[in-house]
C-alpha cells in the first residue's frame, strides 16, 4: 500500500487530560500495531514559565512530558506536540490574564454566537501581545520535544476577522489577508527553532489564496470524517467536492491523510490515500471525555494493522483481531465487541426527546434491535474478560439500547391521541421509570470505571452527559403524564436538506387564535440524526388545545433551509398551511409549503461561503409566514 512512511496516532489531551501512565500505555498500544508517531493534541496542557495559569491537576509539568518522551523514545515512537495559536485557543483565553487577546474581546459577536455569548475561541493576530505570548509559549514547548515537527492547529478559525483591527487589515482582500501573514509568522518562528510546521488544511476552503502564498515545506494534515467514495466532501462550503490532494501534489506540498477512529471512515480514507502520494497516515481521536477510553483501543489497533496490510479485505475480521490484541477473549466475544464498535455508534446522542423528536423509523428500529442482540451476546460471553473492557464494550451497546428505547417511547408520547386509554401512557411512564433506573446504574458503573482508569481526574463531561439524559427522561415522563389527560400537541415540520454540513439557524413561532404565541425553536440548527439522509421530519411538543392561526419560520446563519411542509396536530384538530401571508429576505418557491409533497421552499442564502466571508450576511433573517387553517378531512 502506497501510504507513505508516517503512521501516526493523535491523542486529544486538551479535551480530556490523561494520566502519564495512561499516555504511556497508549504509546505501547500504538507501537504494538505499527504506529511510529504519536501526536499529542495539547493546546494549553503544558505548564511553563510563560503560562503558569493552569492548575497542576489539569496540566503536565515539563518533568512529566520528559517522562512521556522517554517512554516514546524507548518504543521508537516520534512524539509531536500540537499547540493551536489562532483558533481553538479557548483554553488559553479562559484565563483573565490572556482574555484581552481574544478576537471577540469587548463582547462582540462571533460567527456562531451573539454578542457576549459563546466561548472565546480565537485570538486576534493584529495584537502584538498575541505573538509576544504565543511565540514564547511555543518556544518553551518546542524545547521539550525532539521531533522536527511542530503542529499549530489552524483549523476551524470560525471567529477570524471579527474585530475592528482585523477588519481593517482585511480591507477588501478577504480572510486570507489575516491567515497568510499568520502562517508566515509562525513558519518563521518554527524555522528559527529548527522545526517543520504542521497544520490542518480545512481553512484553505475559505482562503484559497493562502495556499499558494505559503512555504512548500509546511506539512498539510487533510482531515475528512465521512465515508469517501471517489472524492471527499468539503468541510464548510456546501460540501463541494474538490480533490485537494491533486492540488497539493501540483504545488509541491507534503501531506498526511487524517481519518477519525470510526472503522468505515478510516478504511475509506485509506483507500483514497492509495490513489495519491501522502507522507503518511494520521488517525485523529477527539473528545474521549464522555465514553470509556477502552473502546478506542481496538479502533487504533485495527487502523495500525490495516496500514500494515493485515487482512486488507476483511475489515470485520481485522477488527475482531484488534479486540483480541487489546484484551484476551474468545473469538465469539471479540466478534460481539467488534459489532458493538461498528454498529453502536450513536453513543452519547443527547437530544432532549421531551421537546422535539425525529420520528422513530424502520432504520431506527433495525438499529435498536441490532444493538439489543449485541448487548445480549456481550453479556452472555463476557465471563473471563477483563472487567474494565467488558464494561466499556457493554456500555457502548447499553447506551444504544437505552437511546433507542427513549426514542420509541418519545414517539409514542408525541403520537398520543385523544381517546387513547389512560393505561397506554401509564405503561410508557412505567418504562420511563425503568429507563431512569437503567441510566443511573450505567452512570454509576461508568464513574467506577473512570476512577479505575483515570484516578484523580474529574469527569465533568461524563456527569453532564448522564445528568442531561436523566433530565430528558424526567421531562418526557412529565409529558407522558400530561398526555393521560388528552392529546399531546404536536407541530410537525418536514425538511429535505441536500447538505447537512451547513449551519442555518431556525426560529419557529406559532400564533394562536387568542392572540398568544409560542416559540417552538429559537435559533437551533436542525439536522437529521442520519446526516447522509436528506429527508427527515421533526416533531415539537406544543400547546395541546389552542387553535393555531399562523406559523412563522425564520432562517439566518450559514446556508439555507429546505422545507417541504409544516402542520399542527392537537385537540383542536389538524391544521395545515392554507396561504403565504408574509415573506422577508430570500425565499424561493414558498407556495411549495402548501402542498405536502417532496417539493420544497428554499429559505435563506444557499451559498455558505458568502456568509462566512461576510458575517453580516449571516445576521440577515429570511422568513415566511403561513396562515394555518383546520384540515377539512
Please spell the DSSP secondary structure of 116-183, one letter per residue.
Answer: T-S---BB-TTSHHHHHHHHHHHHHHHTT--SSEEE------TTTT-SHHHHHHHTTS-THHHHHHHH
- Mean pLDDT of all residues in 276-292: 93
Q: Give yes or no for residue 419 having a pLDDT over 70.
A: no
How confident is residue 416, by pLDDT bands cut at 50, 70 and 90?
A: confident
**417: confidence class by pLDDT, cuts 50, 70, 90:** low
Average pLDDT, whole number, for the chain? Answer: 93
Sorted by sequence, the CB contacts under 8 Å of residue 106 that are 6+ apart come out as 163
User: What is the pLDDT at residue 362?
Assistant: 82
What is the three-class DSSP state of 481?
helix
What is residue 347's predicted lDDT score, i.e. its pLDDT?
A: 43
pLDDT tops 80 at residue 420:
no
With a pLDDT cut of 70, the percent of the chain lying above it is 97
Of 69-78, 281-290, 344-353, minimum mean pLDDT range? 344-353
Non-local CB neighbours of 562 within 8 Å, separated by 6+ positions: 495, 496, 497, 498, 600, 601, 602, 603
CA separation, residue 53 to residues 46, 47, 48, 87, 135 (Å): 10, 8, 9, 19, 17
> pLDDT band at residue 418, thresholds of 50, 70 and 90?
very low
Q: What is the mean pLDDT of residues 175-180?
A: 97
Q: Give pLDDT, residue 349.
A: 43
d(CA 281, CA 100): 38
Residue with the larger pLDDT of the pair 361 and 539: 539
How high is the pLDDT of residue 348?
41
pLDDT band of residue 334 (cuts 50, 70, 90) is very high
Q: How confident is the model at residue 586 (pLDDT cuts 50, 70, 90)?
A: very high
Q: How many CB atoms lie within 10 A of CB 386?
A: 14
- State the pLDDT at residue 113: 87
Q: Taking residues 520-542, what's their average pLDDT?
A: 89
**3-class secondary structure, 25:** helix
- For residues 300 and 307, the answer to whether their CB atoms sit within 8 Å is no
Residue 1 pLDDT > 60: no
Q: Locate all alpha helices (DSSP H) within 260-417, ordered by sequence.
A: 263-273, 296-307, 315-326, 331-343, 362-381, 387-414
Average pLDDT over residues 21-39: 97
Q: What is the band of 262 on the pLDDT scale with cuts at 50, 70, 90?
A: confident
pLDDT band at 351 (very low <50, low <70, confident <90, very high): low
Is 236 within 8 Å of 558 (Cβ atoms)?
A: yes
Residue with the larger pLDDT of the pair 233 and 175: 175
C-alpha dist (Å) from residue 604 to 159, 369, 556, 557 = 21, 39, 6, 8
Give the confidence band of 421 by pLDDT, cuts at 50, 70, 90: low
Q: How does pLDDT run across 189-220, given as a tens digit for each residue? A: 999 999 999 999 999 999 999 999 999 999 99
pLDDT for residue 310 is more than 50: yes
Partners of residue 282 on adjacent β-strands:
8
Rounded to a whole number of angstroms, the CA Rg of the chain reads: 26
pLDDT 10s digits, 106-133: 999 999 888 888 889 999 999 999 999 9
CA distance 345 to 329: 22
Contact 43, 89 (CB under 8 A): yes
**Residue 148 has what pLDDT?**
98
For residues 474-488, average pLDDT? 84
Beta carbons within 8 Å of 107's beta carbon, 6+ residues apart: 115, 116
Q: What pLDDT, on the 0 to 100 scale, is given for residue 633?
A: 67
pLDDT at 333: 98
Over residues 340-365, the mean pLDDT reads 74
pLDDT score at 213:
97
Amino acid at each position: 500500500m502506497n501510504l507513505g512512511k508516517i503512521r501516526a496516532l493523535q491523542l486529544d489531551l486538551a479535551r480530556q487530560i490523561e494520566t502519564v501512565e495512561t499516555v504511556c500505555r497508549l504509546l505501547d498500544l500504538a507501537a504494538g500495531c505499527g504506529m511510529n508517531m504519536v501526536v499529542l493534541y495539547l493546546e494549553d496542557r503544558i505548564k511553563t514559565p510563560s503560562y503558569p495559569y493552569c492548575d497542576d491537576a489539569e496540566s503536565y509539568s515539563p518533568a512529566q512530558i520528559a517522562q512521556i518522551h522517554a517512554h516514546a523514545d524507548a518504543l521508537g515512537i516520534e512524539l509531536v506536540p500540537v499547540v493551536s495559536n489562532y483558533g481553538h485557543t479557548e483554553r488559553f483565553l479562559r484565563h483573565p490574564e490572556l482574555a484581552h487577546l481574544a478576537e471577540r474581546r469587548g463582547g462582540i459577536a462571533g460567527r456562531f454566537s451573539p454578542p457576549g455569548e459563546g466561548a472565546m475561541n480565537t485570538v486576534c493576530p493584529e495584537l502584538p501581545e498575541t505573538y509576544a505570548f504565543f511565540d514564547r509559549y511555543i518556544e518553551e514547548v518546542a524545547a521539550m520535544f525532539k521531533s522536527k515537527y511542530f503542529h499549530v492547529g489552524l483549523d476551524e478559525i470560525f471567529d477570524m476577522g471579527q474585530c475592528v483591527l482585523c477588519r481593517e487589515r482585511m480591507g477588501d482582500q478577504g480572510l486570507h489577508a489575516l491567515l497568510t501573514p499568520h502562517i508566515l509568522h509562525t513558519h518563521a518562528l518554527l524555522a528559527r527553532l529548527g522545526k517543520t510546521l504542521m497544520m490542518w488544511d480545512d481553512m484553505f476552503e475559505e482562503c484559497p489564496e493562502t495556499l499558494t502564498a505559503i512555504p512548500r515545506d509546511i506539512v498539510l494534515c487533510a482531515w475528512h470524517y465521512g465515508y469517501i467514495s471517489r472524492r471527499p466532501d468539503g468541510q464548510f462550503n456546501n460540501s463541494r467536492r474538490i480533490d485537494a490532494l491533486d492540488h497539493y501534489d501540483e504545488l509541491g506540498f507534503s501531506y498526511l491523510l487524517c481519518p477519525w477512529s470510526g472503522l468505515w471512515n478510516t478504511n475509506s480514507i485509506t483507500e483514497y490515500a492509495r490513489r495519491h502520494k501522502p507522507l503518511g497516515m494520521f488517525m485523529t481521536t477527539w473528545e474521549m471525555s464522555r465514553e470509556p477510553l477502552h473502546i478506542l483501543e481496538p479502533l487504533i489497533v485495527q487502523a495500525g494493522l490495516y496500514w500494515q496490510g493485515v487482512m486488507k479485505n476483511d475489515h470485520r475480521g481485522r477488527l475482531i483481531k484488534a479486540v483480541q490484541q487489546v484484551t484476551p477473549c474468545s473469538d465469539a466475544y471479540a466478534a460481539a465487541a467488534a459489532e458493538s464498535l461498528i454498529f453502536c455508534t450513536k453513543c452519547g446522542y443527547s437530544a432532549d426527546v421531551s421537546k422535539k423528536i425525529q420520528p422513530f423509523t424502520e432504520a431506527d428500529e433495525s438499529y435498536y434491535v441490532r444493538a439489543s442482540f449485541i448487548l445480549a451476546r456481550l453479556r452472555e460471553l463476557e465471563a473471563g474478560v477483563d472487567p474494565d473492557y467488558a464494561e466499556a464494550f457493554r456500555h457502548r451497546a447499553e447506551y444504544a439500547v437505552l437511546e433507542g428505547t427513549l426514542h420509541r417511547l418519545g414517539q409514542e408520547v408525541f403520537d398520543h391521541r385523544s381517546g387513547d386509554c389512560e393505561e397506554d401512557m401509564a405503561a410508557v411512564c412505567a418504562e420511563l421509570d425503568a429507563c431512569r433506573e437503567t441510566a443511573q446504574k450505567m452512570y454509576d458503573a461508568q464513574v467506577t470505571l473512570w476512577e479505575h482508569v483515570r484516578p484523580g481526574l474529574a469527569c465533568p463531561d461524563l456527569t453532564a452527559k448522564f445528568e442531561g439524559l436523566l433530565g430528558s427522561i424526567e421531562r418526557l415522563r412529565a409529558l407522558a403524564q400530561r398526555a393521560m389527560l388528552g392529546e399531546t400537541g404536536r407541530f410537525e415540520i418536514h425538511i429535505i436538506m441536500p447538505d447537512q454540513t451547513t449551519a442555518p439557524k431556525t426560529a419557529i413561532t406559532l400564533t394562536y387564535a387568542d392572540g398568544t404565541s409560542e416559540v417552538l425553536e429559537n435559533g437551533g440548527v436542525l439536522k437529521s440524526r442520519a446526516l447522509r439522509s436528506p429527508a427527515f421530519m421533526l416533531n415539537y411538543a406544543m400547546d395541546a388545545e389552542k387553535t393555531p392561526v399562523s406559523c412563522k419560520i425564520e432562517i439566518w446563519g450559514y446556508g439555507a433551509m429546505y422545507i417541504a411542509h409544516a402542520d399542527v396536530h392537537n385537540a383542536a384538530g389538524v391544521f395545515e398551511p392554507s396561504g403565504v401571508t408574509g415573506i422577508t429576505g430570500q425565499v424561493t418557491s414558498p407556495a411549495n409549503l402548501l402542498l405536502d409533497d417532496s417539493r420544497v421552499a428554499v429559505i435563506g442564502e444557499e451559498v455558505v461561503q458568502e456568509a462566512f466571508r461576510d458575517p453580516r450576511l449571516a445576521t440577515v433573517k429570511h422568513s415566511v409566514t403561513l396562515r394555518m387553517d383546520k384540515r377539512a378531512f
